Amino acid sequence: MPTWRELIHGDPLTWLLEVDDINPAVRYLALRDIVGLPEKSPDLVDAKSEAYSIGPIPRILAAQNPKGYWVKPGGGYNPKYTGTVWSLTLLAQMGADKSEPRVKTAAEYVLKNTISPTGWFSYNGMPSGFIHCHAGYLGDAMFSLGFGDDSRVTNAVEMQARLVTGRGIAAMGSQDPLRYYHYTAGPNFICGKLPCAWGAVKALKAISSVPEPQRTQTMSSAIEKGKDLFLSTDLTKCRFTNLEKGKPSSNWFKFGFPNYYIGDLLEILEVMARLGDGRDLRLEQAWKMVLEKQDSQGRWPLEYSYNGKMWADIEIKDEPSKWVTLRALRALKAAFPG
């Protein structure tokens, strides 16, 4: 079985480790996740400090209200993609965490305003506002930000797992507040008439962020349902994504950064590798597609972009992307160590 280094072309890690005044957070995360430097390593500490000093992270934080929100108070879903939830999620994906006081304030604000009375994450703070994709990327972000031991977060993830499995959740139309609502009408990642792959991968990201010894039986059952969904078919031909004229959404095959509610095939492989299933033979075609996207220097392009919509643009669409390359290397290293 080849190792991740044998599967990539050239030496993209050297590229990721270059001093970069535009996207310095890439270097920090490459040192942490690919090189594997310990948290207190002077080089890692310096790289993290650099990421907070220049580039997108300080620009995003500069736009924050001192109370913790962006643009306007409340649940933070609107406006896309500069509202509170989007801004905090982007910070998390760039390696920011609660050691920065403004990030901690933002996370506390989100926890106060997006967890519904039923305990799950909600785009509007009400029980009816649960959506798997939104709850999933927000739950995953909270773990990245350093809130994984916060009972509000672990309970929200547990509630998401219950919505996946149906455990203790009443049918839509019931008077029980712990019920399915319009956006999530039933178990098994249902959104509309079909399971939603975008919602499923976000849910798996959040649930798999919980360390295995701390996962409840419901969390483990939800993970198995997600794995069953993604291993049940060739991911390069699957029909449970948002369909375009009967075919998988073209966005499914466009790798990008950041990852909000729109999912891509690489994101599924990232999660499956995290769960220890990255080498499953049923993922062979998906890995083949991923590897075919790298150029001769082992770099992946930015195929899906939110530029012009966020507080800061991220690289150039269709050009080699350090962020997408970092995503690919992380997934490959987890699936094919050595």
User: Measured between alpha carbons, how far is 268 from 17 in angstroms, rounded to an integer?
Assistant: 25
Q: Which of 289 and 249 is assigned the larger pLDDT?
A: 289
155-170 mean pLDDT: 98
Mean pLDDT over the full length of the chain: 96
Task: Examine the pLDDT at 143 and tell me if it is beyond 80.
Answer: yes
Task: Examine the pLDDT at 194 and tell me if it is beyond 80.
Answer: no
Task: Examine the pLDDT at 193 and tell me if it is beyond 80.
Answer: no
The CB density around residue 287, as the number of other CB atoms within 10 Å, is: 22
Instruction: Dump pLDDT digits (tens) for 53-94.
Output: 999 999 999 999 999 999 999 999 999 999 999 999 999 999
Domain membership of residue 31 (yes or no) is: no
Task: Examine the pLDDT at 246 and tell me if it is beyond 80.
Answer: no
Task: Examine the pLDDT at 107 and tell me if it is beyond 60.
Answer: yes
- Residue 151 token pair: 């009972």
Domain membership of residue 40 (yes or no) is: no
Residue 33's pLDDT band (cuts 50, 70, 90): very high
217-246 mean pLDDT: 84
Q: At what angle do helices 132-145 and 151-165 cross, to 10 degrees?
A: 150
Instruction: Dump pLDDT digits (tens) for 144-161.
Output: 999 999 999 999 999 999
Domain count for the chain, please give it. 1
Domain membership of residue 11 (yes or no) is: no
Residue 250's pLDDT band (cuts 50, 70, 90): confident
236-255 mean pLDDT: 74
CATH number at residue 321: 1.50.10
User: Measured between alpha carbons, how far is 297 from 13 in angstroms, rounded to an integer?
Assistant: 10
Domain membership of residue 27 (yes or no) is: no
Identify the pLDDT of residue 268: 96
Biggest alpha carbon–alpha carbon distance for the chain: 59
Identify the pLDDT of residue 249: 78
209-218 mean pLDDT: 98
Identify the pLDDT of residue 298: 99
Task: Examine the pLDDT at 244 and tell me if it is beyond 70.
Answer: no
Helix, strand, coil shares, percent, the chain, to 5: 50, 5, 45
Domain membership of residue 16 (yes or no) is: no
Q: Among 147-161, 211-225, 248-262, whose mean pLDDT is lowest?
A: 248-262
Burial classification of residue 258, based on how many CB atoms lie within 10 Å of its CB (0-12 exposed, 13-18 middle, 19 or more buried)? buried
- Which SS3 state, helix, strand or coil, does residue 121 take? strand
Identify the pLDDT of residue 240: 64
Domain membership of residue 149 (yes or no) is: yes
- Residue 123 token pair: 């785009």
Residue 328: C-alpha distances to residues 134, 146, 336 (Å): 23, 23, 12
Residue 241's pLDDT band (cuts 50, 70, 90): low
User: Measured between alpha carbons, how far is 138 from 180 in angstroms, rounded to an integer?
Assistant: 20
262-272 mean pLDDT: 96
Report yes or no: 289 and 236 within 8 Å, Cβ to Cβ.
Answer: yes
Domain membership of residue 13 (yes or no) is: no
pTM (2 d.p.):
0.96
Alpha helices in the chain (DSSP H): 4-7, 12-16, 24-29, 42-53, 56-62, 84-93, 101-114, 132-145, 151-165, 197-208, 217-230, 265-274, 284-292, 322-335
Backbone angles phi, psi at 239, to 5 degrees: -115, 15
11-33 mean pLDDT: 98
Domain membership of residue 329 (yes or no) is: yes
Task: Examine the pLDDT at 1 and tell me if it is beyond 90.
Answer: no
Identify the pLDDT of residue 247: 66
Q: Show the domain range for 251.
A: 63-335
Asked, as a colleague might, if the bond just before 42 is cis with ω within 30 of 0, I would say no
For the chain, the first-to-last Cα distance in angstroms comes to 10
Burial classification of residue 36, based on how many CB atoms lie within 10 Å of its CB (0-12 exposed, 13-18 middle, 19 or more buried)? exposed
Identify the pLDDT of residue 196: 85
Task: Examine the pLDDT at 254 and tell me if it is beyond 70.
Answer: yes
